[in-house]
Amino acid sequence: MAEMTYAEAIRDGMRQEMKRDRNVYLYGEDVGIFGGCFGVTAGLFQEFGPERVIDTPITETAIAGSAVGAAAAGLRPIAEIMFVDFMGVCMDEILNQAAKMRYMFGGKAKLPMVIRTPCGAGFSAAAQHSQTLEAWFTHIPGLKVVMPGTAADGKGLMEAAIRDDNPVIFIEHKVLLGAKGEVPEGEYLVPIGKADIKREGTDVTIVAWSLMLSKALAAAESLAQEGISAEVLDPRSLVPLDKEAILNSVKKTGKLVIVHEAVRTSGFGGEIAAIVADEGFDLLDAPIKRVTAPDTPIPFSPVLESAYIPSEEKIIKAVKELF
């Protein structure tokens, strides 16, 4: 094991797969010489050269569209869209081409492509550069959606995503990029669709992903000091979702709190709540609670932004309302 930041771990996952398979290449705005807007791709241009780490013009439509064509032709592109907020610019290529091509060709075409994109508030980047939009992509059949919350999962899910023969939306949280953790060296894969219990507990299940995982774990630590044992479950991938792991945890605890940074209305937490209500209603001893951002654009003001982002205190409050 080596200690790496979240950004270094994701980079190492890409490096491992680029060394293993010459069909893997990386491209996007400023990913090459500059090393990426957030430094995630630093050094890969020097290691693999301009034919496999390619700086593109500022055109999300071309980035996503060329990834679809390259993947259908047998390559394994890793395309970076600089902010998840800009994914709307290339949504036609994602929604109507990447997600549907394998199905419409009767399974004869493969689309082994990864779109990396950072999400999240916390830098006072305001409403157009701070959103968390995973629910958009979970609503599109044909896409896989992963959101690692730790450095190790960042590396393992990246390697698994690159090897997958379907398009994968890989969403990285900007605030996590400098967070450190122990990461296996060499080849390391985390299966897409397999949740992970980050903390065992008996009284309440907290489901959280991406940055909210660390806040859920901090809340669980505080709750433990008050005699409440919280189990923290990280789905890691939202599509496919490990429903069995969630239901098994709720069966054990009888209570469920879902935490995500995205706004509440149509957020993916509502889907998890619906699954548990539909398939595990008898497991519940109390109503399902959600801790989310409010249904507003993200404010620029640091004070307002801090109030906007779900906090450890809000998670603790939601848990206590169940007892």
Determine the Cα–Cα distance for residues 187 and 263; give it in Å rounded to an integer: 36
pLDDT attached to residue 287: 97
* Tens digits of residue pLDDT in 252-279: 999 999 999 999 999 999 999 999 999 9
What is the pLDDT, as a whole number, of residue 121? 97
Task: Answer yes or no: do 171 and 300 share one domain.
Answer: no
Give the tens place of pLDDT for each residue, 108-146.
999 999 999 999 999 999 999 999 999 999 999 999 999
d(CA 43, CA 185): 18
Options 129, 139, 173, 260, the catalytic residue: 129
State the CATH number of the domain containing residue 108: 3.40.50.970
Whether 188 is in a domain gets the answer no
Strands of 209-302, DSSP E = 230-234, 237-239, 256-263, 289-293
Can you give the pLDDT at residue 309? Answer: 97
Mark whether 168 and 228 lie in a shared domain.
no
Q: Do 265 and 167 have their domain in common?
A: no
Would you call 116 helix, strand, or coil by DSSP? strand
The CA distance from 152 to 188, in Å, is: 9
147 and 290 both lie in a single domain: no
pLDDT of residue 171: 98
Query: What tens digit of pLDDT does each residue of 50-103 get?
Result: 999 999 999 999 999 999 999 999 999 999 999 999 999 999 999 999 999 999
pLDDT tens figures, 151-195: 999 999 999 999 999 999 999 999 999 999 999 999 999 999 999
Determine contact, residues 268/303, Cβ cutoff 8 Å. no
Domain carrying residue 296: 196-320
CATH code where residue 278 lies: 3.40.50.920
Catalytic residue list contains 173: no
As for how many domains the chain has, the answer is 2
Same domain, 76 and 158: yes
User: CA-based Rg of the chain, rounded to a whole angstrom?
Assistant: 19
pTM above 0.95, yes or no: yes
Q: Residue 52 domain-assigned?
A: yes
